[in-house]
Structure 1
Amino acid sequence: MRVLVLGAGYAGLTLARTLERRLPDAVELTIVNDSPYHLVQHEVHRAIRHPDVADVIEVPLDEALTRAEVVVDRVTDIDRTNQRVHLAEPGTLGYDYCAVCLGATTAYYDIPGLESHAIPLKSLDDAAAIHERYFEACSDGGTVVVGGAGLSGIQVAGELAALRRESDAHTNIVLVEQMNTVAPTFPEPFQRAVRDELLDCGVEIRTETTVESVTASTIETDTGTLEYEMLVWAGGIAGQEAMESNRPTVRADLRLDERTYVVGDAARAVDADGKPVPASAAAAIREARVVAENIAEQVAFERDGDPGDFPPRPQPYRFEVPGWIVSVGDSAVAQVGPSIFCGSAAKAMKATVGAGHLTSVGAISKAVDLVEEELNA
C-alpha cells in the first residue's frame, strides 16, 4: 500500500511528517516535490532586501523527514481514475491514497502584457530577480508598482520601502489594489493598521484601481496611466498545471474522491461551518493535520478492519486561526482576537510564528537564525 503526498509546502510537509508517525512501517509513504527543499513561503519577501535569508528559510527535505521517500520531480497530471500520478521525468507513481498539496501559482487574469512584464513572488529566484531589477533600474529613482494589496503585496511593498531607505534612493513605491482597501479580506481594524504602517513607510496606496493592460513601461488602469521601472505582481492565485490550472472547491472533508484529498492553497475549501477558508499558511497546516489523521484511519481500516464494518467517516476541518500577522518593512501588524499590535510587539509575534514552524519541522538552528533576522529587520 502506498500513500502519496504531492508537494512539500506548509501542507505537504506537515502532512508527511504526521503520516510518518501514524502509518505502519509496511505502508509506503512518498512525497513528491519539485525541489529538495521545503520553503518557508511567508518569509520569501525578506530575500528581496537580504538575499542571505535564503539559507534560513530553506529546509532540506531529507533532514525534515525520517522515513518518507522523497522524489524530486514536477507533477504534471493526476489520473484519479487509475490512481496514478504523472511526473515531468518520464514515469508514473501509483497510489492507494493521495494528498494533493501543490499550492498555487500566480494569477494574471488574462490581462494583456501582465505576465510578460511583471515579476511574481513565489520563489527565492523571484525574490532575487526583484532585488536585481531594483538595483538595475530603480535605485536612482523611478517608480516601482506592486499589484495587489493582499498580505504578499503588502509585504513586498514594505520590503521595497525599507530597501529604498537603506539604499538612500528616491524611488516611488506604489501599491495598487482593485478593492477599496488594503488587506481587503481581513477585519477592518487590521486593514486600518496595515494602511497606517504602509503610509508611514512612504508607500503610495491606490485602491479602487483596476489594472487593464501592461507594456514594458506603462500600466493602463481604469483611473489612468502609470509609468514604471519595475512591476511586481501579487494580485491573486491560480491552480497548478497538474490541476488543470484550477483550484477545485472541496467540502470540509477536503476530498475530491474517496482516495484523493486536496490540501492548502491547491483548493478552495469550505469548512465544517460552511465558511470559505482563506489561502494561508495557518489554514494549510491545520488542514494537513486533519487530513493526515483521516488517511491514517482509512489505511488502518483497509488493512485491519472487518470487511463487514462501515469505513471510518473523515473528520471535518473547521477553520480556526487565532489571528493574523503581516510584515511591513521594519515593522509589522498583528491581530489577536480583537486586539491590534504594531511595531516591536507584532515583530516579536511574527518571529515566534516563523520560528515555531521551523521548530515543528525539525529545523531548530534555522529557527534561531530566523528570530534574529526578524527582530533585527
Structure 2
Amino acid sequence: MRVAVLGAGYAGLALAQRLERRLPAPVDIVVVDESPTHLVQHEVHRVIRRPGVAEAITLPLRDVLDRAEIVTERVERVDTEAGFAELADGTELEYDYGAVCLGAETNFYDLSGVEEHALPLKRVHHAEAIRERFLDVCASGGTAVVGGAGLSGVQTAGELATLAQERAASERVDIVLLEQFDSVAPSFPEHFQRAVHDELEARNVEIRTNTPVQRADAERIELTDGTLPYDLFVWTGGIRGTDAMDGERPVVRNDLRLTDRTFVVGDAARALDADGQAVPASASAAIREAGTVAQNLERVVNAELDGRGTGFEVRMKPYRFEIPGWIVSVGDGAVAQVGPKVVTGPAAKAMKTTVGAGYLGSVRAVEKVAELVEAELDA
C-alpha cells in the first residue's frame, strides 16, 4: 500500500512526520515536492531586512523525515478520484490514499498589469528580489507600495519601513499599504486590527484602506480614486489554488476529505470545521489539520490492512478549528492576540520569537533554533 503526501509545506511536513510514526512499516510513504527543502513560510518576510535568515528557515527534507521516500519534482496535476498525480518529468505516481498539501499561489485576480509588474512574496528568492529593488529606492528616494493588508502585507510593509529607517536614507522613502476593505488585517478581530494599524503608523507606513487596485503598469498603479506612482510594487493581495488543482481551492468535508481516497489539507483547501466554521488560511491551521488527517489516514489504512475496508465505513475524526491566538511581526515590533487580550511591545516580540523557535523544535530542526532566535532578536 502506498500513501502519498503531495507538497512539503506546513501541512505536508507535519502530516508526513506523523504518518511515519503512525502507519505500519509495510505501508510506503511518499512525499513529493518541487524543492528538496521545507520553507518556514511565516518567516520569509524577514529575509527582506535580514538576508541571513534564509539559512535558518530552509530545512532539508532529508534531515526532518526518516522513512518516507522523497521525490523532488513538481506536481502538475492530481486526479483525486483515481488516485494518481502527474509529475513534471512525465511520470505518474499512483497512490492508495493521498493528501494534497500543495499550498496556494499568489492570486493576482486578473488585474491588468499587476502580475507583470508586482513582486509576490512566497519564496526566499522573492524576498531577495524585493530587498534588492528596495535598496535602490532607499539610495535614490521614491515610493514602495504593498498591495494587500493581510498578515503577509502587514509584515512586508513593516520590514520595508524598518529597513528604510536602518538605512537612514538621505532621500525621502514612502511606504504605502493598500487594502480594498476598510481595515488592515481585515479577517481578524477589531482590537487586533487597531493594534496592527497603530504599529504600522508608528513606523510611518501610509495606510490606504477602501482602496482597491484596478490595474498597473511599469510606473503607476491605477486605483479607484486616482493613480499612484511607484518605484517598487509588492503584491500580497490574496491566494488561489495551484495549477495542479486547476487554480482551485476545493471545499472539503469536516474530516478534510475531498474524495474517498484523497484528503486536501492546509491552504490547498477551503475547509469548514466540525462546527461549520470557515477555517482561515494560516500555518497554525494547516499544522493542526495535518494532525486530524494523520489520525484519519491511520484509521482507513489499518481498516483496509485488517480486511475491513470493503463495505465498512470507517469513522472519521472531524477537524475542529481551535487556535489560541494570532501573532504578526511589524518591522522591529509585533502584535499578538492571546484569547481576548492584545499584546504589543517587547512581550509580543518575545512571543513571536518563541513561536518560531517552537515550530522548528516541533519538526526536529533543533540546530536551526539558535539561528532563528538570534535573527529575531536582532530584528
Q: How many residues align?
A: 377
Structure 2 spans left out of the alignment, 5+ residues: none
Structure 1 equivalent of residue 35 of structure 2: 35
Shift of 1:56: 0.1
1:334 to 303, 321, 336: 336
User: Which blocks of at least 5 consecutive residues in structure 1 are unaligned?
Assistant: none
Between 342-351 and 280-289, report the one with greater CA deviation: 342-351
Distance 1:307 1:331, change over 3 A: closer
The answer on whether the counterparts of 1:139 and 1:171 sit within 8 Å (CA) in structure 2 is no
1:332 alignment partner, SS class: strand
Aligned to 1:365: 367
Task: Give the counterpart letter for 1:191 in structure 2.
Answer: Q
State the AA in 2 paired with 1:177. Answer: E
Tell me the alpha carbon deviations over residues 141-174 of structure 1, each in whole angstroms, 9 at most, x when there is no partner: 1000000000000000000011101111231000
Match of 1:273 among 272, 275, 293: 275
* Cα separation, 1, equivalents of 2:105 and 2:262: 21
- Judge conservation of contact 1:301–1:311 (CA < 8 Å) in 2: no
Following TM superposition, by how much is the alpha carbon of 1:40 offset from its aligned partner in structure 2, in angstroms?
A: 0.3
**TM-score (norm: length of structure 2):** 0.98
The residue that corresponds to 2:245 in the other structure is 243
What residue is the counterpart of 2:46 in the other structure? Answer: 46
Which residue in 2 is equivalent to 1:319? 321
C-alpha deviation, 1:309, in angstroms = 6.8
1:110 matches 2:77: no
The Cα shift of 1:82 comes to 2.7
1:286 alignment partner in structure 2:
288
Partners of 2:285 and 2:146 lie apart in 1 by: 25
Task: Give the residue type in structure 2 aligned to 1:41.
Answer: Q
Q: Deviations over 1:83-120 (max 9, x none)?
A: 21100012011100010000000000110000000000
Provide the rounded CA distance (Å) in 2 between the counterparts of 1:139 and 1:302. Answer: 64
| Contact in 2 for aligned 1:139/1:164 (Cα 8 Å) | no
| 2-structure distance, mates of 1:306, 1:267 | 29
C-alpha change, 1:314 and 1:72, in structure 2 (3 Å) is same
Aligned mates of 1:309, 1:142 — CA distance in 2: 67
Q: Give the aligned partner of residue 354 of structure 1.
A: 356
1:187 corresponds to: 189
In 1, Cα distance between equivalents of 2:123 and 2:19: 27
Identity of aligned residues (%): 60
Equivalent residue for 1:86?
Answer: 86
1: CA distance between counterparts of 2:65 and 2:139?
Answer: 42
**Structure 1 residue ranges, 4+ long, deviating more than 2 angstroms after superposition:** 136-140, 305-311
1:299 maps to a residue whose letter is V
Aligned residue identity for 2:330: V
- After superposition, what is the alpha-carbon deviation per residue over 1:307-358, rounded to whole angstroms, capped at 9, x for unaligned? 6772322100010000000000000000000111101111111111111110
Q: Using the alignment, how far apart are the partners of 2:138 and 2:89 within structure 1?
A: 40
Give the whole-Å Cα distance in 2 for the aligned partners of 1:81 and 1:347: 45
Q: Give the Cα–Cα distance (whole angstroms) in 2 for the partners of residues 244 and 347 of structure 1.
A: 39
Q: Mapping of 1:88-167 within 5 angstroms?
A: 88-167=88-167
Q: Equivalents in 2 of 1:71, 1:242: separation in Å?
A: 16
Query: What is the deviation of 1:138?
Result: 4.1
CA distance in 1, matches of 2:25, 2:107: 40
